[in-house]
Amino acid sequence: MPRVQPAGSLFFSRSGLGANILPLDASDLRILVIMRETRIKTVSVRTTGCRLNQYESEVMAAELFRFGFRRAEPGEPADLYIINTCTITHRADQSSRNMIRRAVRENAEAKIVVAGCYVDNDPDAISQIEGVDVLLTNTDKDRLAEILPRRLPELFDRLPETGCGSAVPDFGLHNRAWMKVSDGCNQNCSYCILPSVRGRLRHRDADEILCEIDALTRAGFQEIVLTGLNMGYYRQLDRQPEVRSFAELCRLVFEKTDVSRIRLSSLEPQTLNGDFLRLCRESDGRLCRHFHVSLQSGSSRVLRLMRRPYDRDTYIRLVSDIKNARPNTIIGADIIVGFPGETETDFDESRTLAEFGLIDYLHVFSYSDRRGTPAADIPNKIKPDVIKERNAILTRISDDLRLQANRRQVGQVLDVIAEYRKIDDRFHWGVADNYIRVKLPDGHEGGKEIVRVKITRALEDYVEGEVVS
């Protein structure tokens, strides 16, 4: 006969549904307390900087999911914050510090982990920020699953789930995935600190890249962005499959995976050789018509001071070849204003090249000294107000270039993916294969699928159109 429950007592079934309900003894009470205390921990991963950083953030998040964490919802305080930092400029340092302090304000009880390039460059500055618990260098990122359970044991109450290889990143609410191809840089430009915080150039194994792309494709991603420092130098000659160039790696991706299209992040102009141009012509829509080709200056004299391995005429020729190889290709470029010794004549050369018609948008950076770089010791520093004025001029030119590129899309049919997964009933922004920003029609579900949109209207920042079959 079942026992009668005393008023106010707790009961626990040892045998599952249909079993007699027994009053809790001391051991049962301990189990129940553990069950109540063991809740799903939340993590918020935040990133400053490049696509390479964003990819590594997602890999870190995926590793934490294996320990039972879930990603915190927007506006929800998290138990653990991972701040993946950038240090390319003083402004990047400041953005990283602001992001750390914002996380501390959101939940003073949370654990704060700071990772990435700023940690490699200036760990003392980060350590002085109140609330930071753990620092991870770029090398440490790969050992996150080993380091954090040891440093923050109170957050890790279970062993990680095991499977075949590392967990596949889900990229949060993004509909496009990123893939790291290479890391590090051997170029040693005079203004750049990245070789000292990222190390020498090294490439991922081609089979590993193909395996991860295949997994992402099976997860529904139809666009994957290949990213890496100097990835145009990709080689794999010491193992199979042998890959002799970056173009060959792209061909291997097309041959061995079912990914609908790949996009390439920033490329160095000197890597855009004849084999790459053949890839552009033969890719049959699977290579996005969008290339961000670093410029840095339109002055050959300044490029020499920067230790860039090309001149103005070479850049014009290479980018012209790409545009001729693929109609309606969009070209972006980084450019630095105010490099030490940059004269008005040098700046005019940058301005006229920007207006020349080859480049469709600019990322304009104001020069700032980075401690330990050769450029920091170059005399003839440019006054801050002059740098600000030059930045404003090129930014206005970039805005006009974007408007011209958008107007050229009217009447075109573009292949578009929504930037984010559907959250509510608002319209969605999409990204065309040539990087044109598209306002998708009302009612679009914001999924990962590619939709064809006929462009009917162009505005300064985006275009509009109608979905066609």
Pair of tokens at residue 432: 């065309």
Cβ–Cβ under 8 Å, residues 136 and 115: yes
Q: What is the CATH number of the domain that holds 214?
A: 3.80.30.20
Q: Are residues 202 and 54 in the same domain?
A: no
Q: Annotate 286-330 with DSSP letters as a single string.
A: SB-SEEEB--B-S-HHHHHHHT-SS-HHHHHHHHHHHHHHSTT-E
Q: How far is CA 418 from CA 174, 176, 264, 317, 328, in A?
A: 9, 9, 18, 34, 20
The answer to whether residue 307 sits within a structural domain is yes
Pair of tokens at residue 367: 């020069």
Q: Are residues 13 and 147 in the same domain?
A: no
The answer to whether residue 16 sits within a structural domain is yes
Q: Are residues 259 and 354 in the same domain?
A: yes
The answer to whether residue 298 sits within a structural domain is yes
Q: Are residues 127 and 23 in the same domain?
A: no
Query: What is the extent of the structural domain holding 74?
Result: 42-155
The answer to whether residue 169 sits within a structural domain is no
Split into its structural domains, the chain has a count of 4
Q: What is the CATH number of the domain that holds 84?
A: 3.40.50.12160
The answer to whether residue 165 sits within a structural domain is no
> In sequence order, what are the beta bridge partners of 465?
455
Q: Are residues 457 and 381 in the same domain?
A: no
The answer to whether residue 429 sits within a structural domain is yes
Q: Are residues 93 and 184 in the same domain?
A: no
Coil, helix or strand at residue 417: strand
What is the model's pLDDT at position 283?
Answer: 87
Of 354, 378, 407, which residue constitutes the final position of a domain? 407
Q: Are residues 442 and 390 in the same domain?
A: no
| Exposure of 24 in the CB half-sphere (CA atoms within 13 A) | 13
Of 155, 190, 215, which residue constitutes the final position of a domain? 155
Taking the whole predicted model, whether its pTM rises above 0.95 is answered as no
Nearest-angstrom CA–CA distance, 299 and 47: 33
Coil, helix or strand at residue 34: helix
Cβ–Cβ under 8 Å, residues 57 and 44: no
What is the model's pLDDT at position 425?
Answer: 57
Q: Are residues 368 and 231 in the same domain?
A: yes
Pair of tokens at residue 225: 């962005």
What is the model's pLDDT at position 8?
Answer: 33
The answer to whether residue 167 sits within a structural domain is no
Q: Are residues 269 and 368 in the same domain?
A: yes
Q: Which helix (H) or strand (E) holds 349?
A: helix 344-355
What is the model's pLDDT at position 21?
Answer: 34
The answer to whether residue 128 sits within a structural domain is yes
What is the model's pLDDT at position 166?
Answer: 54
What's at 206, amino acid-wise?
A
Beta-carbon contacts of 169 under 8 Å, excluding residues fewer than 6 positions away, are 55, 58, 59, 61, 62, 177, 216
Q: Are residues 424 and 278 in the same domain?
A: no
Cβ–Cβ under 8 Å, residues 415 and 432: yes
DSSP state of 154: G
**How do strand 261-264 and strand 223-228 relate by DSSP bridges?**
parallel
Ramachandran region, residue 72 (left: φ > 0; alpha: ψ -120 to 50; beta: rest)? beta
Q: Are residues 91 and 10 in the same domain?
A: no
Nearest-angstrom CA–CA distance, 465 and 140: 46
pLDDT tens-digit readout, 133-152: 999 999 999 999 999 999 99
Cβ–Cβ under 8 Å, residues 231 and 156: no
Q: Are residues 429 and 333 in the same domain?
A: no
What is the model's pLDDT at position 420?
Answer: 82
Burial letters 353-383, b for 16+ CB under 10 A, else e:
bbeeebbbbbbbbbbbebeebebeeeeebbe
Ramachandran region, residue 444 (left: φ > 0; alpha: ψ -120 to 50; beta: rest)? beta
Nearest-angstrom CA–CA distance, 392 and 342: 16
In the predicted model, residues of the chain with pLDDT beneath 70 are 1-38, 162-168, 422-427
Of 372, 407, 442, which residue constitutes the final position of a domain? 407
